[in-house]
């Protein structure tokens, strides 16, 4: 059995896995430090699990036939070596699988793609702003490589960008979208950065 560290769990979502009724598993841990992170409690990789992975599997067993899929979100799910096995276990129960990722581990993403039905890939911004947004040197090249891998795959996907004028300009956002479209991205979601707090 997988030893995935679970930082949170939502039993039903209609918006995180397009066209599916799904549960969301929030995976503990992320090496990046985006100032606007919406789940900062999920950043410490060593934090105590909110619930055991087996409890998630037990819940999913009872939801067979009622839910279509399971979303692995975070934190950064690809941080955890246990993710591939967790995906296999969820698929073995008959569920489709989705991943939310910032694309920081392209090699791991490549290995996961055969186990996925849908991917939501964060594009943090234009390459020259990545290091400032993520507080992590070299983060842009990893995300760009993950985008290439996703576009070359047959896995359904969308790109998502969180935007605030304090991060980069509106004109840069427009150019980012045009560049993604040019590379073959067909769905790009822009979400407003929440600044309260
Ligand atoms: S990559 Fe996502 S989970 Fe990690 S710090 Fe940034 S917003 Fe938070």
Tens-place pLDDT, residues 168-192 = 999 999 999 999 999 999 999 999 8
Euclidean distance between CA atoms 149 and 103, whole angstroms = 10
Domain tally, the chain: 1
Q: Is residue 177 part of a domain?
A: yes
Q: Is residue 106 part of a domain?
A: yes
Euclidean distance between CA atoms 175 and 128, whole angstroms = 13
Q: Is residue 60 part of a domain?
A: yes
- Mean pLDDT on 27-47: 95
Q: Is pLDDT of 197 > 80?
A: no
Please list the alpha-helical segments (H only) found in 77-138.
83-92, 106-112, 130-134
Q: Is residue 116 part of a domain?
A: yes
Range of the domain at 151: 6-192
* Residue 196 confidence (pLDDT): 62
Which helix (DSSP H) or strand (DSSP E) does residue 173 occupy? helix 170-183
Report whether 101 contacts 80 (CB < 8 A). no
Q: Is residue 126 part of a domain?
A: yes
- Confidence category of residue 22, pLDDT binned at 50, 70, 90: very high
Q: Is residue 115 part of a domain?
A: yes
Q: Is pLDDT of 65 > 90?
A: yes
The residue to mutate among 29, 37, 134, having the most atoms of ligand 1 within 8 angstroms of its beta carbon, is: 37
Which residues pair with residue 118 across a beta bridge? 98, 156
- Mean pLDDT on 49-58: 97
- 143 touches ligand 1 (CB under 6 Å): no
Query: Cα 37 to chain center, whole Å?
Result: 13
Q: Is residue 1 part of a domain?
A: no
pLDDT digits (tens, 9 = 90+) for 132-170: 999 999 999 999 999 999 999 999 999 999 999 999 999
Q: Is residue 197 part of a domain?
A: no
Percent of the chain with pLDDT over 90: 95
* Residue 193 confidence (pLDDT): 86
- State the CATH number of the domain containing residue 130: 3.20.20.70
What is the 139 CA–ligand 1 centroid distance (Å)?
12
* Radius of gyration, CA atoms only, the chain: 16
- Confidence category of residue 90, pLDDT binned at 50, 70, 90: very high
Report whether 153 contacts 103 (CB < 8 A). no
Task: Say whether the peptide bond before residue 195 is cis (omega within 30 degrees of 0).
Answer: no
Euclidean distance between CA atoms 31 and 128, whole angstroms = 19
Euclidean distance between CA atoms 164 and 193, whole angstroms = 5
Whose alpha carbon is nearest atom 7 of ligand 1?
37
- 150 touches ligand 1 (CB under 6 Å): no
């Amino acid at each position: 059995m997988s030893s995935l560290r679970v930082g949170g769990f939502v039993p039903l979502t209609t918006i995180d896995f397009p066209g599916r009724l799904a549960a969301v598993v929030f995976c503990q841990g992320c090496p990046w430090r985006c100032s606007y992170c919406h789940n900062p409690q999920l950043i410490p990789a060593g934090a105590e699990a909110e619930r055991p992975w087996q409890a998630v599997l037990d819940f999913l067993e009872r939801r067979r036939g009622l839910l279509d899929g399971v979303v692995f979100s975070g934190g950064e799910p690809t941080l955890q070596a246990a993710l591939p096995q967790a995906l296999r276990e969820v698929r073995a129960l008959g569920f489709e699988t989705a991943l939310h990722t910032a694309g920081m581990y392209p090699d791991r993403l490549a290995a996961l793609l055969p186990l996925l039905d849908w991917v939501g890939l964060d594009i943090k911004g234009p390459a020259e702003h990545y290091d400032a947004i993520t507080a992590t040197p070299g983060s842009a090249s990893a995300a760009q490589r993950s985008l290439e891998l996703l576009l070359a795959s047959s896995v359904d996907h969308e790109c998502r960008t969180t935007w605030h004028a304090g991060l980069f300009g509106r004109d840069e956002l427009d150019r980012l979208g045009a560049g993604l479209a040019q590379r073959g991205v067909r769905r790009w979601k822009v979400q407003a950065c929440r600044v309260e707090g």
